[in-house]
Structure 1
Amino acid sequence: MTIKTFLGPGTDRPQELAAAKRACTTATGAPVRISVVVPARNCASTIEGVVAPVVEDLREAGAIDEVLVVDHDSTDDTARRAARVGARVVAFSSAGPTVRIPDSGKGSVMWKGVWASHGDIVVFVDGDHLRFDSSKVSRLVGPLLRDASLQHVRAFYDDYEGGRTTETMARPMLSLLHPELGGMRQPLSGEHATRRSALARLVFPAGWGTEFSILDQIARRYGAPAIGQVDLHYKEHVKGDWAHISLQAFELLYVALRTELRAQGRELPEHWGSVVMTPADQPGEVVRRPARTQELPPLVSLPDWPERERLRLTWPGASASATLPS
């Protein structure tokens, strides 16, 4: 099948997105609210360039309702810089439900970001973009406002020097497990928009397997027609080294195989390890790097979720200076 792909401008301008948003309501008849969530760790050099355009162009126009930065224990001034340009910042260590996450990674930050956000649609954007503009958020949200059958929209890019884990691991895994998603251009893109009701029903792997897992679970739960992709033209961001790529690929492989085995009603093999072994400087020696294989439960399964949703629905709206519950 062909993945729904959106190439045209659609809702690029803030006023166009704001008008499309006003025309939509939730199942209860309430106005649709949109949150942009930025997981960030030591992104002081880039975070303002990501947050400021979204705040100035989209939030001020009423096209989105909040920009939330989840600061993952940064040792630089990521949090201060994000707040300075209008983001609401929550600290990972204190945000969300009280759940112990000993091997936290990007997935656990995203999980807490869903909890802390207020939107009916949640847009994730990486915090390490070297060049960013607000139309990227607008393009991701537009298809969800126009097409009620969509649950998840992911970005792809015409101009992007990257995709090493995509080509060596994600695309082969999709070909094996989800050939119907073979048309996804960048299945591991960190830029995507999803309905909150869908995100709250997903298991979140704690580490790098999350981007693949979101696609995998939504395809299993809602079918490939519920997934779309949109052209964001370019991406320039900070790239990891090969040791980082190896760990990222391992965590993705672990998550993908675990989900497939569970779908078959099978347990994980007892001999499976959770350590990536790479050659050390001395011939024959290895470096052992623990992978993050923990996972976080669906938010809807938590006893505090109904109260969190009640508070969310009484949230008065976006304010750069407001103190809001996390």
Structure 2
Amino acid sequence: MRSFHHHDFSGLDALVSEKETAGLTVSLCIPTLNEEGTIARIVENIRHSLVDTHHLLDELVVIDSGSTDRTRALAAEAGAEVIEAADILPFQGKRMGKGENLWKAVHHCRGDIICFVDGDIGNIHPRFVYGTVGPLVRHAELGYVKGFYERPLLATEGVDPRGGGRVTEILVRPLFARFCPDLTALHQPLAGEYAARRSVLEAIPFPTGYGVETAHLIDVWRLHGIEAIAQTDLDERIHRNRSLADLGRMSGEILDAFFSRLPNASLSSTERPPMNSLSEYRERFPASAQPVKRNA
């Protein structure tokens, strides 16, 4: 599996030129639920650098799960297109969860490359976008790029600079080691910062909850091989640390997604089907613009 550093893509004028020469468009989706403390600064930072100053992004969208605070208003004031997930494909019904937002993003966003950044980042920087988009612009054989970083954990005894990622180390990495050893090379498989080609995302099912990133990796690996997946070092990410109860619920959703991908298992009823199986999507996107080139 190829690994990069965000510095490899920090020459934004050159990266934008390469994007335009390749005829690619790039969308950023920020999935949100009650992120009024961070969303405005995230949108302002990314928009200033990657839309206004360097035109890497062709679209910057906040897809919201029904926030009860000022998330949507603040995101719109900061310059994002803001839409509620329930208003996308409304005839498909309303489900809650991060995966639901991401699935709806594949339908709503128009880019050949779709990048995702979580809405709770406290130290936002454009590297969280160009670090994962850059490899897809420059390497046609890649289809899915994850970010990784140090995640400080606030504890009673102080700050543990590497204490974040508890679910990864306790649950996901042991599962990958036993059942999907190729994927153990990923430093942070649950990272919320990643980018993928539309042609990859439209062809895989999406768990509606927190199992979505685990499911993505397994499905992309099986469909395209480990050579289609890469990762980029994004240095450090600061965000709110979740409670053990939250992590327990997250772990349960990850287990559901994982077990449904074991041999002879069937997909959970909570999963959304591949987007390209919907006639409405095929009408909106008659052909995927940038298929992954599988190595011989």
| TM-score, with structure 1 as normaliser | 0.81
Q: Cα gap change, 1:222/1:97 in structure 2, threshold over 3 Å: closer, same or farther?
A: farther
- Write the letter of the residue equivalent to 1:250: G
Indicate yes or no: 2:14 matched with 1:37.
no
Over the aligned positions, Cα root-mean-square deviation in angstroms equals 1.9
Structure 1 or 2: more helix by fraction: 2
Distance 1:247 1:72 in 2: 18
Q: Cα gap change, 1:293/1:207 in structure 2, threshold over 3 Å: closer, same or farther?
A: farther
Displacement after TM superposition at 1:136 (Å) = 1.9
- Say which of 223, 226, 233 aligns to 2:225: 223
1:204-239 Cα distance to aligned partner (Å, 9 max, x none): 001110011111100010011100000000100112
Displacement after TM superposition at 1:17 (Å) = 2.4
Displacement after TM superposition at 1:310 (Å) = 5.3
Q: Is the 8 A contact 1:107 1:205 kept in 2?
A: yes
- Write the letter of the residue equivalent to 1:90: I
Indicate yes or no: 2:264 matched with 1:298.
no
1:122-175 Cα distance to aligned partner (Å, 9 max, x none): 000000111101122111111111111101000011454410110111111111
Distance 2:239 2:269 in 1: 26
For residue 20 of structure 2, what is the aligned residue in structure 1? 22
For residue 237 of structure 1, what is the aligned residue in structure 2? 239
Q: Is the 8 A contact 1:54 1:134 kept in 2?
A: yes
Q: Cα gap change, 1:94/1:185 in structure 2, threshold over 3 Å: closer, same or farther?
A: same
For residue 92 of structure 2, what is the aligned residue in structure 1? 99
Residue correspondence of structure 1 range 249-288 to structure 2 within 5 A? 249-260=251-262, 264-266=263-265
Q: Cα gap change, 1:41/1:159 in structure 2, threshold over 3 Å: closer, same or farther?
A: closer
Q: Is the 8 A contact 2:117 2:128 kept in 1?
A: no
Runs of 4+ that moved beyond 2 A: 158-161, 264-268, 310-313
Q: Give the SS at the match of 2:36.
A: coil
- Say which of 82, 85, 88 aligns to 1:89: 82
For residue 294 of structure 2, what is the aligned residue in structure 1? none
Distance 2:151 2:102 in 1: 26
> Which consecutive unaligned segments of at least 5 residues does structure 1 have?
25-30, 269-291, 314-326
Q: Is the 8 A contact 2:144 2:229 kept in 1?
A: yes
Displacement after TM superposition at 1:267 (Å) = 5.1
For residue 195 of structure 1, what is the aligned residue in structure 2? 197
Q: Is the 8 A contact 1:207 1:293 kept in 2?
A: no
- Say which of 177, 182, 192 aligns to 1:175: 177
| TM-score, with structure 2 as normaliser | 0.89
> Which consecutive unaligned segments of at least 5 residues does structure 2 have?
154-163, 290-296
Count of aligned pairs between the two proteins = 278
Distance 1:186 1:20 in 2: 28
- Write the letter of the residue equivalent to 1:17: L
Distance 1:111 1:88 in 2: 17
Distance 1:65 1:8 in 2: 20
Q: Give the SS at the match of 1:126.
A: coil
